[in-house]
Amino acid sequence: MDEIVEDLLGTNNKSTDSRGQNNSYKKPYNKNNNWKEQNQKRNEAYKKIDNMSLKISKDGNMFTQYLNILSRFEKYSVGNCMLILEAEPNAIQIKEKQDWIDRGYEITQPEKSMTILEPNKVNGKIYYNPKEEYDISRTNAPIPEETEYTDRDLLLALFKDCKAEREVVDVLPNGEKGAEYVESENKLYMCRGLKSDYLLKTIIQEFARMEMQDIENSEMKEFKTYCISYMICKKYGLETSQFDFSNLPNELANKEKGKDIRVELDDIRKNFITVNSKIADYFEQEEKSRKNKEKER
């Protein structure tokens, strides 16, 4: 199971080190922990991650559910997203029991905990501790309302730090309608007169393509672009019924090792974070600006 540890760097957005990736766990100084039980939970988590890797790569429905989890938990590693999917496919927000209690809430379904792996540095090496967490649906905390975004809001967010020149045209260079990024020109062409939701989705896909431009053209490059587009649409409340993951690429489906599958999935995750961070930063700045204006009144 040593290979799985390599995939767990970056868990929970905490600092990690690329060294010391092994399954030989060194006990930190805490005499109150049951280390035999901890080791058992850790090994069970590794096994679940490996099993889920193989399931996801061969089942379009499972793969879609995985992307749904990743769109909500992009700060978690690929491995931990799989653990969340295995335990709570509809998870929205997860925290440790004490975190929920500190916020004034109770765990209403204590038997419904999930295990994720948290990195800890000991003597310069990174080890992974199993940690029990609960989704908000297992507590009496109110489910947060989803923020609604207009097509105009999303277009402004995408264009804020666009690194390509933009041009509005009647017909794309390829003769179709929608949006097209031409890498040789570093230019994003967009058609006028189209329905905003359709145009927005094609623009999102081309923004994803920009982030993948350093990757050699292949079936996997197009597939990864497609995945990122789906997650951005899912995250910001756009219609996603037109996306179809029933035919996964052979380059993914034919892989026999969980580690190799997770390498491809981590590439999707990193590029999704890059695209999404630009959108999220725009909305965060807009919210700060709005609050500052309210204070000035």
Encode pLDDT of 107-120 as tens digits. 999 999 999 999 88
Region 242-255 average pLDDT: 94
- Retrieve residue 169's tokens: 């045209």
DSSP string for residues in 131-143: EEEEEGGGBSSPP
Last residue of a domain, one of 103, 138, 173: 138
What span, in angstroms and rounded, lies between the C-alpha atoms of 144 and 49?
Answer: 29
What span, in angstroms and rounded, lies between the C-alpha atoms of 200 and 207?
Answer: 10
Q: Is residue 12's pLDDT more than 60?
A: no
Both 193 and 276 in one domain: the answer is yes
Q: Is residue 2's pLDDT more than 50?
A: no
Residues in Cβ contact with 61 at an 8 Å cutoff, skipping those fewer than 6 apart: 245, 246
Both 89 and 189 in one domain: the answer is no
Last residue of a domain, one of 138, 173, 196: 138
Return the sign of the alpha-carbon dihedral for residues 59, 62, 67, 70. Answer: negative
Tell me what pLDDT residue 38 has: 86
Comparing 8 with 92, which gets the higher pLDDT?
A: 92
Tell me the percentage of the chain whose pLDDT exceeds 70: 88
Model confidence at 126, in pLDDT bands (50, 70, 90)? confident
Both 206 and 240 in one domain: the answer is yes
Q: Is residue 269's pLDDT more than 50?
A: yes
DSSP string for residues in 31-71: TTS-HHHHHHHHHHHHHHHHHHHHHHHH-HHHHHHHHHHHH
Q: Domain for residue 198, yes or no? A: yes
Tell me what pLDDT residue 206 has: 93
Q: Domain for residue 144, yes or no? A: no
Q: Domain for residue 146, yes or no? A: no
Q: Is residue 97's pLDDT more than 80?
A: yes
Tell me what pLDDT residue 127 has: 83
Structural domain tally of the chain? 2
Last residue of a domain, one of 138, 166, 186: 138
Identify the burial level of 259 via C-beta atoms within 10 angstroms of its C-beta, where 0-12 means exposed, 13-18 middle and 19 or more buried: middle
Closest CA to 179 of 190, 167, 171: 190
pLDDT tens readout for residues 140-189: 999 999 899 999 999 999 998 888 999 999 999 988 889 999 989 999 99
Of 6-10, 184-188, 242-246, 261-265, the poorest mean pLDDT is in 6-10
Instruction: Quote the DSSP letter at residue 7.
Output: G
DSSP string for residues in 261-281: HHHHHHHHHHHHHHHHHHHHH
Task: Answer for the pair 24, 109: CB distance below 8 angstroms, yes or no.
Answer: no
3 state SS of 177: coil
Q: Domain for residue 145, yes or no? A: no
Both 105 and 167 in one domain: the answer is no
Q: Domain for residue 122, yes or no? A: yes
Alpha carbon separation from 1 to 25, 53, 237 (Å, rounded) = 13, 13, 38
Q: Domain for residue 127, yes or no? A: yes
Model confidence at 33, in pLDDT bands (50, 70, 90)? low
Both 92 and 167 in one domain: the answer is no
Q: Which amino acid is at 295?
A: K
What span, in angstroms and rounded, lies between the C-alpha atoms of 216 and 203?
Answer: 21
- Residue 225 lies in domain: 151-296
Closest CA to 103 of 142, 57, 150, 62: 142
Comparing 238 with 5, which gets the higher pLDDT?
A: 238
- Retrieve residue 212's tokens: 């993948």
pTM of the predicted model, to two decimals?
Answer: 0.83
Both 125 and 19 in one domain: the answer is yes
